[in-house]
Structure 1
Amino acid sequence: MDELQKLSEKASWLWIDCLEPNDEELEIIAELLKETEVINAIKNRQVFSRYETINDYLLLSIPLVTFKDKLETSPIYVFAKEKRFITVRGTDSSKSIDNTLKTFQDCILKLKRSVFSPFIVSRLFHEVTNENLDGIMALRERIDEIEERALAKPGDKRISKAVFALKRQISTLERVLWVQRGMMLDMREGVVPAVESSEMDRQTLSYAINDISRELSLIDSYGNALDSILRLQDLGMIHRVERILIYLTLVTLLMNAIMILLEVDIFHILSG
């Protein structure tokens, strides 16, 4: 902690990147922020619906989504003030952070120190939006797999369970992306305090906002695709019931025929 304070005093601007911080490192962050409650939010991977102000720091959470077996959200937490910029994150966000750092290094000579933080925040939003598309496309692949199973076995009840599970995850993803879009709009319009975006930053945010709008349109189409699978399942169940009714009808007719034959044989025996 003392070393950080000394470094902060010497540096005109400092970016502290905390990757998968342990409890001890989180305590140091809490000391820097002079706030302890936010640490629980970080541990729980909470996505904030808007910017927060913690003492003299601005807090933003930039939600990165991944989809493997299920949807997961790994926020990048940004704490920004005039001379200090802190990011707290997991390993999933390394690509976005690395790309942002490279762009920052390429552009640093063109930037004033006062716009370092808004430049990095806008680039992080841009990179995370691009990376979120990978998770969204992985979700599409999962829907296609379920659709193939539904066509092969339209009466499989496990398919309906999988569809409803995906619908819940899509609903969560949609809320997360709307929150991200809202924060980017606030930044572009200058609503977020302590982050005075330059024209370059506003242009970067506009590109990211357009991208996330397209992603939301894709997600809406995914909901329609899942509804189609459920309708296919309903048709499969109807056909299954129809087949059962046909079998029952045939069995009933067969039993009636047997009963008639038995009655005829008994009549012949009695009359003979």
Structure 2
Amino acid sequence: MLKILGYINNDLKKITLNELSEEYSLIWIDCYAPSDDELLQLSKKIDIEIEELKVGLDEQEVPRVEEEDEYYLIIYKAPLFEEDITTTSFGIYIKDNIILTLHIDKIKSIGKIYNLLKTKKPKILLDRGKGFFLYNLLNQITLSYSKIILNLEDELDKLESNLLQDQNNITGEILQLRKTLVYFHKALVSNKDVLSILKRKYLPITTQDDREHIEDLYYDTLQLIDMETTYRELLVSMMDMSLSLENIRMNQIMKVLTMVTTLFAVPVWITGIYGMNFKYMPLLNNPYGFWIVMGISAIIILILLYVFLKEKWIK
């Protein structure tokens, strides 16, 4: 699917591939999960090989900045909202007055930029050139990471509360959050390297002001990496605590079972002896023999209970 916006004389227009022209000061093409025919037409119009465009569609590509003869390629990582929150790579191609975002997955941050352009004055985002628009695009992605990580802080508070209340079945939630943070760590570190190049390298697509904005974005990303690392370490600690509490619960259960076994071990031993096929045994013919044996067994059980209570094994 192709969405094309052209900016000319403080006016934003929705155009088609056939209407691409150098008259526009800036053209943004957003290409989401394109068909083979759309990719072919796009390749012909902007004069970039299909194989090179497919690089931007590979969600496993490593973030980087490439300087080609006629265009620049930036691979960047964005959060991906599916059943689980993960990350995906997408491509940003910059050539002449065209900025092309190419992605196989639906990226909410790009959708937000598109809505901003359609609902507010586009002059704010487009009048300052390609570099400033690139900054806003990358900034929107960074904001998405930030919002998710801040929401994870609330999730961590809930998990910690459930853990202290000795609730079960939180191990799966801890593992899921930790998995998300691992994805984020890899993505943010890779994005940091891209921002490092963009902020210090004098590329024709960015001005000095753009590089200063990107430098702020670089430090925001560093802060997100620190937050993510802290939360990940906290999750590891919570996992260790959860396993420790589970071991304590199992030990309590084994302790109760051991005490029950101990209480009835001697009576079972006594009754086992009287189950043996001997003709002569103490109290065997005594009319009160059964009750005497039961009384002895009860006394032994009471003595053992007293010992357990004195040693505070039973609370």
Instruction: Using structure 2 for the length normalisation, give the TM-score.
Output: 0.69
What amino acid is the match of 2:222?
S
**Structure 1 gaps, min length 5:** none
Match of 1:63 among 59, 69, 77: 77
Structure 2 Cα separation of the partners of residues 61 and 188 of structure 1: 15
Q: 1:96 aligns with which of 87, 94, 113?
A: 113
Q: Which structure has greater helix proportion?
A: 1
Aligned to 1:17: 29
% identity of equivalent residues: 17
SS of the counterpart of 1:247? helix
Cα distance in 2 between the residues matched to 1:78 and 1:106: 20
Amino acid at match of 1:268: L
Paired residue type of 2:23:
A
Contact 2:125 2:132 in 1 (8 A): no
Give the gaps of 5 or more residues in structure 2.
1-15, 275-280, 290-315
**Does structure 2 retain, via aligned residues, the 8 Å contact 1:150–1:159?**
yes
| Contact preservation (8 Å) 2:63, 2:76 | no
- 1:126–1:207 Cα contact (<8 Å) kept: no
Residue 228 of structure 1 deviates from its aligned partner by: 1.9
**Aligned twin of 1:171:** 182
Residue identity opposite 2:208 in structure 1: E
**In structure 1, how many angstroms separate the alpha carbons of the residues matched to 2:209 and 2:121?**
13
Amino acid at match of 1:20: Y
Q: Does 1:204 align with 2:196?
A: no
Query: Partners in 2 of 1:28 and 1:267 — Cα distance?
Result: 104
Which of residues 28, 35, 42 in structure 2 aligns to 1:29? 42
Structure 2 letter corresponding to 1:106: I
- Structure 2 SS opposite 1:125: helix
Q: Please report how far the alpha carbon of residue 47 of structure 1 lies from its aligned counterpart in structure 2 after TM superposition.
A: 4.4
The CA deviation at 1:263 is 6.5
Kindly report which structure 2 residues correspond to 1:57-206, keeping only aligned pairs within 5 A, or say none: 57-66=71-80, 69-75=83-89, 77-89=91-103, 90=106, 92=108, 93-99=110-116, 105-106=123-124, 111=128, 116-153=129-166, 156=168, 158-190=169-201, 193-195=203-205, 197-206=206-215
Counterpart position of 2:10: none
**CA distance 1:21–1:225, change in 2 (3 Å):** same
Deviates more, 1:52-61 or 1:123-132: 52-61
Q: In the TM superposition, what whole-angstrom CA distance separates every residue of 1:103-132 from its partner, at most 9, and x where no partner exists?
A: 8613766x4xxxx22221122222221232
Query: What is the deviation of 1:138?
Result: 2.8
Relative distance call for 1:237 and 1:171 in structure 2 (3 A) is same
Cα 1:103–1:219, aligned 2, differ >3 Å: closer, same or farther? farther
Residue in 1 aligned with 2:307? none
Pick aligned residue for 1:269 from 284, 290, 294: 284
Taking the aligned partners of 2:83 and 2:184, their CA distance within structure 1 comes to 15
CA RMSD of aligned residues (A): 3.2
2:64 match: secondary structure: coil
Q: How far apart, in 2, do the equivalents of 1:254 and 1:98 lie?
A: 73
Pairwise CA distance, 1:83: 2.8
**Matched residues in 1 for 2:177 and 2:262: separation?**
45
- Aligned pair 1:219/2:228, yes or no? yes
Amino acid at match of 1:96: I
**Whole-angstrom distance in 2 between the partners of 1:240 and 1:11:** 73
> TM-score, normalised to structure 1's length?
0.79
- Whether the aligned pair in 2 keeps the contact of 1:99 and 1:127 (CA below 8 Å) is no
Q: Using the alignment, how far apart are the partners of 1:79 and 1:135 within structure 2?
A: 27
